[in-house]
Amino acid sequence: MAKFPARIHVLLASHAPLGLVIRRGPSNSVATILWNRHRDSFELGQWLKGRIYERRCDLSPYGDYFIYFAMNGHWGSESKGSWTAVSRSPYLKALAMFPKGDCWHGGGLWTGRKDYWINDGYGHSVLRDTKEVRRDESFQPSEYFGGECTGVYYLRLLRDGWRLAERVKVTKWDRKDIFEKPLNHGWLLRKIANSGSGSPEGKGCYWDEHQLIHAKSGAEVDCPEWEWADVDGKSVVWARDGKLFRAGIKSSGLIAETELYDFNPMTFEAIEAPYCATCGLKDPKSASTSWRCTCGRYGTRRY
């Protein structure tokens, strides 16, 4: 059986130099890692035995909250086997939790500093809620790209400065949607968002390809190994082979490429989030110990 590197997807906060790395691998294990983009340092949040659908996730503008859609297949549990949740980044413990019971729709977007929209469709119930953040009932997506991953992912890309340049229908079931974001010195970062059944080995039904395009000269640089990429200030940042990279860009192309972190050696750890899921109180002790908060509930690891 072929062994693949860790799969990496990253969410960038729009108003703070923070990011959240969603690291998947093996297929039933996923971790969230806080990325300080100012220092290029990384802090492990939590692991989940299951799947987080990274294209249905979002990081709040200041990087302090995370909305995500997850599935662990425990269909008889209180989570109904799949759920949308809101947590404190980089952790997964739910401040608000909405069981789903299937993998249609789910996830959501931040519409303000503490306001979020759920990609509801149908089927969510309320298991836990909080006053710390608010559900935005008035938000209506400007465009409809489907109910599942593209219905959240494309809205996030457009909100975060990407331009939808072209939509190409390859077959009845397969398509390529091309997004572009400007860089310095006349370059564009192109993201080719693929969906369908013709994915390469090791990819799911949604996968991205990337190119660097020079608007004036027409030069094209294919980056086939980049599974995620974005613009971070004057830099290009990307994921390749389970690692995260950064480089500057000049008229001649990328310069000073630096490997920031190798996520491949990471293995599952059972980690408690340092706050109570019921009242949100922070753990006054180490996150590895049990503790009792003012609401009377133990701060045990619970998603």
Residue 300 pLDDT class (50, 70, 90 cuts): very low
Q: Which residue has the higher pLDDT, 160 or 285?
A: 160
For 243-282, what is each residue's pLDDT tens digit?
999 999 999 999 999 999 999 999 999 999 999 877 667 7
Residue 301 in any domain: the answer is no
When pLDDT is averaged across residues 197-209 and rounded to a whole number, the result is 81
Cα distance between residue 164 and residue 160, in whole Å: 12
**Distance (Å, whole) CA 264 – CA 299:** 30
Whether the pLDDT of residue 209 is over 70: the answer is yes
Q: Is residue 68 part of a domain?
A: yes
The mean predicted confidence, pLDDT, of the chain is 91
Report the share of the chain in percent with pLDDT over 90: 79
Whether 258 is covered by a domain: the verdict is yes
Containing domain of residue 167, as a range? 7-262
Residue 111 lies in a domain: yes
Q: Collapsing DSSP states into helix, strand and coil, what is residue 56?
A: helix
pLDDT, mean of residues 3-14: 95
- Report residue 164 CA to chain centroid gap: 19
Q: What is the mean pLDDT of residues 159-180?
A: 93
The pTM of this model reads: 0.91
Looking at the domain assignment, is residue 268 inside a domain?
Answer: no
Residue 297 has pLDDT above 60, yes or no: no
Q: How far apart are CA 208 and CA 18, in angstroms?
A: 22
Please tell me the total count of domains within the chain. Answer: 1
Whether 271 is covered by a domain: the verdict is no
Are the C-beta atoms of 235 and 229 separated by less than 8 Å? no
Question: Is pLDDT above 80 for 1?
Answer: no
pLDDT at 280: 64
The answer to whether residue 40 is domain-embedded is yes
Q: Pick from 29, 23, 19, 100: which is nearest to 58 by CA?
A: 19
pLDDT of residue 40: 98
Return the pLDDT at 279. Answer: 67
Structure tokens at 15: 């108003």
By residue count, the chain amounts to: 303
Query: Cα 267–262–300 angle (5° rounding)?
Result: 35
278 within a domain of the structure (yes/no): no
Structure confidence by residue, pLDDT tens digits, 100-113: 999 999 999 999 99
Per-residue pLDDT, 298: 40
pLDDT one-digit tens code per residue, 13-61: 999 999 999 999 988 899 999 999 999 999 999 999 999 999 999 999 9
pLDDT recorded at residue 147: 86
Q: Residue 283's pLDDT band (boundaries 50, 70, 90)?
A: low
Q: Of 188, 233, 236, 243, which Cα lies nearest the Cα of 215?
A: 188
3-state secondary structure (DSSP) of residue 262? strand
